[in-house]
């Protein structure tokens, strides 16, 4: 965030004049026997216990907060040891224990421009979720972890998994969609990837931080059952699968209490029910108290020490916070450092694998694109048969758009479009950045013998003139999202709908290539021949997109989020805005002080749609949608047959999928269950899926396990998960709205 970038500047200014850490020679001279916590054969908990015994009160408190925010006081003397990222917590060189070098890294490593480093931008998190492929998510995490290490970091801020209750949320691109099972599974795999590189992973923003508007003031109001089965379930699965070292608590309140001092969220659920052994880190400036937050379970304040610095020391000395309680918080941070490997295998700076990672980014994008419409087989384009292609769209000659805010990965050589137009320029950390990867050039490379015309789409009539007579028209449409700036509507911005409509009148072969953070409305859908959702496509996006457009890759992604017909169909037809518009004037960063934050009057967003999140809402309300959850076409076709269910603890669904077309392709087979009427559940929920690769004509018998817990509901009286008795139809097919196979099971 903006405040961080101030901290970064401060750190850079101070670098060189800070207190140098001990030299490696000095450290090597220390007798290792005197440092029993360095014994790798001991458990992380044991090592943390041994180290904790050595620490003074000041040293313990040093671990409980970050070192920098020049807005709220003089920078911590240790700030200069920071690496220029989002945050820094000093370690204990005298004990061979490094500090936490923390950086934002949602879809790649952030804040590299300031230090002249390079980071690969992967496709957005939502894009990777559209692959429904845990191996993709793992590779994604490994790239992030490796590049963090290459730049000297040992802790990642990423792992966003807030459920898309409100698709206009500006951070939809950073999250994993609307279904808790898909979102939790994908984020869990991403975290596994990150942590496999000996970098601490996190999951965020815990919890129900489902819109950005008024995020410091809003109270997300939601019942326990609903929370447990929706927003919290995504986190629960992510925590169980990914075992992240850290959980970042969110800015917002939940049922009236700030997430970072919310006893129910942190103590009862996260550390109690889920037995999370790691540490809770506050979002930047999301800590609001000392003893209250501490008792509730917040372990570390970021980015500074307003509540967890001198105020915490005083609270411990006065007995308001018992030593034992402080020790539990410190223990969690230390055990996480040992567990992740940041003590035993600290990062070494080196040049990231620029070429290798660009290739991975391209492969991930190839697997993440979703083919939404393909009338009269307009795709794939046969480069040998077309003579002219018109490429149209703002900046389609220069770059690909990327997601903004603290997740922003800096583009090599700066913004591909140069200076930002004033109207798009919000705060410094919120700019529309286009990566220097030209779709126009990628098309020319993919179709060498073809005449390729370009128009920027600024004027509908001129664009239509360029489109007229071309064999194929490619319109690159964009929707930009950046932290803090919710979208007023899901409509494409800047009059793009009118341009598409004009193109469709001029040419029957218009293909819309969507570069969007999340779902968009398509009033022109029936008039265009093709639509491909490419999300924010990362470093090698333009090339990956041409791979799909020209059939080098057969698209296989499916929507992790519903595309509704209109804003009016959403559970909240209008975004709930804070009552006072000036509450969050992000463009004036000097106003962003603790005083301002503390003074913000709270307002409520009542999540009355309850369990009906995403497709469950449209199902329950019988509202037609533009494209349903789980939908995605291929250049081949698949048929489903022969469903058998075996029941035991949970169930196993076996069925056959056949490739009925003439190309090799991958199909994501989805398994849902409808819940018994008495359960009060939405009509159906996703309970499993499988990605199957099939050659033309090939058939495979496959089995999807449905663990018992996927059928459970949260019983608010008994305070536990339980199964509703009755009959559960198991439904199998290619999307949430096309489920040709069905068989009932009885749960007694
Ligand atoms: C964002 C977090 C981010 C943090 C540090 C906050 O504004 O909400 O997602 O990790 O800043 O940059």
Residue 735 alpha carbon to ligand 1 centre in Å? 34
For the CA of 110, the nearest atom of ligand 1: 12
- Read off the CATH number of the domain in which 398 is found: 3.40.50.1700
Looking at the structure, do residues 643 and 523 belong to the same domain, yes or no? no
Q: Is residue 178 part of a domain?
A: no
Note the pLDDT tens digit of each residue in 147-177: 999 999 999 999 999 999 999 999 999 999 9
Q: Is residue 513 part of a domain?
A: yes
- Read off the CATH number of the domain in which 738 is found: 2.60.40.10
Q: Is residue 182 part of a domain?
A: no
Task: Provide the pLDDT for residue 319.
Answer: 96
Residue 193 contacts residue 137 (beta carbons within 8 Å): yes
Among protein residues, the one whose CA lies closest to atom 3 of ligand 1: 406
Task: Provide the pLDDT for residue 297.
Answer: 98
How much of the chain exceeds pLDDT 90, in percent?
Answer: 85
Residue 406 alpha carbon to ligand 1 centre in Å? 6
Task: Provide the pLDDT for residue 194.
Answer: 99
Note the pLDDT tens digit of each residue in 571-611: 999 999 888 754 454 444 444 567 777 778 889 999 999 99
Looking at the structure, do residues 505 and 643 belong to the same domain, yes or no? no
Note the pLDDT tens digit of each residue in 631-661: 999 999 999 999 999 998 889 999 999 999 9
Q: Is residue 652 part of a domain?
A: yes
Average pLDDT taken over every residue of the chain: 92
Residue 86 alpha carbon to ligand 1 centre in Å? 8
Confidence of residue 13 (pLDDT cuts 50, 70, 90): very low
pLDDT, average across residues 683-695: 98
Confidence of residue 616 (pLDDT cuts 50, 70, 90): very high
Residue 346 alpha carbon to ligand 1 centre in Å? 24
Number of folded domains in the chain?
2
Residue 556 contacts residue 691 (beta carbons within 8 Å): yes
Q: Which of 232-241, 408-417, 610-619 has the lowest mean pLDDT?
A: 408-417
Residue 59 contacts residue 312 (beta carbons within 8 Å): no
Q: Label each residue of 480-523 as H, E or C.
A: CCECCCCCCCCCCCCCHHHHHHHHHHHCCCEEEEEEECCCCCCC
Task: Provide the pLDDT for residue 398.
Answer: 96
Looking at the structure, do residues 419 and 526 belong to the same domain, yes or no? yes
Looking at the structure, do residues 396 and 501 belong to the same domain, yes or no? yes
Looking at the structure, do residues 657 and 541 belong to the same domain, yes or no? no
What residues flank ligand 1, with Cβ below 6 Å?
A: 1, 4, 86, 104, 157, 204, 283-284, 406
Confidence of residue 273 (pLDDT cuts 50, 70, 90): very high
SS3 content of the chain, % helix, strand, coil (to 5): 35, 20, 45
Confidence of residue 114 (pLDDT cuts 50, 70, 90): confident
Residue 212 contacts residue 485 (beta carbons within 8 Å): yes
Q: Is residue 263 part of a domain?
A: no
Q: Is residue 660 part of a domain?
A: yes
Task: Provide the pLDDT for residue 590.
Answer: 45
Ligand 1 site-directed mutation target among 8, 155, 157, most atoms within 8 Å of CB: 157
Structure tokens at 139: 């590779």
pLDDT, average across residues 610-618: 98
Confidence of residue 627 (pLDDT cuts 50, 70, 90): very high
Looking at the structure, do residues 534 and 435 belong to the same domain, yes or no? yes
pLDDT, average across residues 449-471: 97
Q: Is residue 117 part of a domain?
A: no
Ligand 1 site-directed mutation target among 89, 153, 283, 429, most atoms within 8 Å of CB: 283
Edge to edge, what strands does the sheet with 603-606 contain? 257-258, 253-254, 218-221, 603-606
Ligand 1 site-directed mutation target among 483, 484, 584, 586, most atoms within 8 Å of CB: 483
Confidence of residue 116 (pLDDT cuts 50, 70, 90): confident
Count the neighbouring beta carbons within 10 Å of the beta carbon of residue 675. 23
Selection from 54, 672, 127, 218 nearest residue 402 by Cα: 127
Task: Give the range of the structural domain holding residue 674, as residue numbers without chain letter.
Answer: 617-747
pLDDT, average across residues 256-276: 98
Q: Is the pLDDT of residue 496 over 70?
A: yes
Q: Is residue 53 part of a domain?
A: no
Looking at the structure, do residues 532 and 631 belong to the same domain, yes or no? no
Confidence of residue 446 (pLDDT cuts 50, 70, 90): very high
For the CA of 174, the nearest atom of ligand 1: 9
Domain endpoint, select from 506, 522, 549:
549
Count the neighbouring beta carbons within 10 Å of the beta carbon of residue 453. 16
Task: Provide the pLDDT for residue 427.
Answer: 63
Looking at the structure, do residues 407 and 522 belong to the same domain, yes or no? yes
Looking at the structure, do residues 387 and 526 belong to the same domain, yes or no? yes
Domain endpoint, select from 523, 549, 575:
549
**pTM for the structure as a whole:** 0.94
Selection from 177, 167, 122 nearest residue 481 by Cα: 167
Looking at the structure, do residues 497 and 637 belong to the same domain, yes or no? no
Domain endpoint, select from 549, 572, 602:
549
Looking at the structure, do residues 386 and 532 belong to the same domain, yes or no? yes
């Amino acid at each position: 965030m903006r405040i961080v970038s101030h901290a970064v500047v401060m750190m850079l200014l101070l670098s060189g004049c800070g207190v140098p850490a001990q030299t490696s020679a000095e450290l090597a001279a220390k007798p290792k026997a005197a440092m029993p916590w360095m014994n790798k054969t001991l458990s992380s908990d044991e090592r943390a216990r041994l180290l904790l015994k050595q620490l003074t009160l000041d040293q313990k408190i040093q671990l409980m907060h970050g070192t920098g925010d020049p807005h709220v006081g003089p920078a911590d003397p240790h700030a200069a040891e920071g690496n220029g990222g989002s945050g820094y917590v000093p370690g204990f060189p005298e004990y061979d224990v490094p500090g936490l070098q923390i950086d934002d890294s949602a879809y790649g490593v952030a804040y590299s421009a300031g230090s002249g480093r390079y980071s690969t931008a992967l496709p957005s998190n939502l894009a990777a979720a559209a692959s429904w492929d845990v191996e993709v998510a793992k590779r994604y995490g490994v790239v992030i972890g490796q590049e963090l290490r290459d730049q000297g970091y040992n802790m990642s801020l990423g792992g966003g998994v807030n459920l898309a209750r409100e698709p206009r949320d500006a951070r939809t691109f950073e999250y994993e969609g609307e279904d808790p099972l898909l979102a939790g599974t994908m984020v869990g795999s991403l975290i596994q990837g990150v942590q496999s590189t000996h970098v601490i992973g996190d999951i965020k923003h815990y919890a129900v931080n489902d819109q950005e508007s008024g995020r410091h003031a809003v109270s997300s109001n939601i019942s326990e059952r609903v929370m447990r089965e929706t927003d919290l379930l995504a986190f629960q699965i992510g925590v169980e699968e990914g075992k992240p070292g850290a959980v970042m608590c969110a800015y917002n309140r939940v049922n009236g209490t700030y997430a970072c001092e919310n006893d129910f969220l942190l103590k009862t659920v996260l550390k109690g029910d889920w037995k999370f052994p790691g540490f809770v880190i506050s979002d930047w400036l999301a800590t609001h108290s000392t003893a209250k937050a501490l008792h509730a379970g917040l372990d570390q304040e970021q980015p500074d020490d307003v509540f967890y610095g001198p105020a915490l020391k005083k609270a411990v000395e006065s007995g308001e916070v018992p030593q034992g309680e402080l020790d539990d918080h410190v223990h969690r941070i230390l055990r996480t450092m040992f567990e992740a490997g940041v003590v035993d295998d600290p990062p070494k700076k080196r040049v990231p694998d620029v070429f290798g990672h660009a290739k991975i980014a391209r492969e991930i994008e190839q697997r993440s694109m979703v083919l939404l419409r393909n009338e009269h087989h307009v795709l794939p384009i046969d480069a040998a048969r077309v003579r002219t292609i018109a490429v149209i769209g703002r900046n389609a000659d220069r770059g690909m758009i990327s997601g903004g805010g603290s997740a922003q990965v800096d583009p090599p050589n700066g913004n591909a479009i140069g200076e930002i137009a004033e109207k798009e320029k919000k705060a410094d950390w919120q700019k529309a950045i286009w990566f220097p990867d030209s779709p126009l050039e990628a098309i020319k490379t993919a179709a060498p013998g073809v005449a390729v015309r370009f128009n920027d789409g600024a004027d509908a009539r001129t664009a239509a003139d360029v489109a007229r007579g071309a064999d194929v028209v490619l319109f690159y449409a964009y929707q930009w999202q950046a932290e803090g700036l919710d979208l007023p509507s899901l409509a494409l911005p800047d009059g793009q709908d009118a341009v598409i409509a004009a193109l469709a009148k001029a040419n029957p072969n218009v293909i819309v290539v969507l570069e969007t953070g999340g779902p968009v409305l398509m009033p022109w859908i029936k008039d265009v021949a093709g639509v491909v959702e490419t999300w924010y496509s990362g470093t090698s996006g333009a090339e990956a997109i041409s791979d799909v457009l020209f059939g080098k890759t057969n698209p296989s992604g499916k929507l992790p989020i519903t595309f509704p017909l209109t804003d009016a169909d959403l559970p909240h037809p209008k975004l709930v805005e804070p009552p006072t518009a000036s509450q969050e004037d992000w463009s004036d960063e000097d106003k962003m002080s603790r005083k301002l934050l503390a003074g913000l009057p709270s307002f409520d967003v009542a999540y009355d749609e309850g369990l009906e999140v995403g497709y469950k809402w449209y199902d329950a309300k019988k509202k037609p949608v533009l494209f349903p959850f789980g939908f995605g076409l291929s250049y081949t076709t698949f048929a489903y047959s022969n469903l058998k269910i075996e029941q035991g603890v949970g169930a196993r669904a076996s069925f056959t999928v056949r490739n009925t077309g003439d190309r090799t392709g991958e199909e994501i087979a989805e398994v849902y269950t409808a819940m018994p009427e008495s359960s009060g559940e939405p009509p159906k929920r996703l309970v499993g899926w499988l990605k199957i690769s099939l050659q033309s004509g090939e058939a495979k018998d496959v089995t999807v396990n449905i663990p018992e817990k996927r059928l459970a509901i949260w019983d608010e009286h008994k305070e536990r998960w339980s199964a509703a008795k009755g009959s559960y139809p198991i439904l199998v097919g290619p999307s949430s709205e096309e489920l040709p196979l069905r068989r009932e099971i009885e749960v007694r």
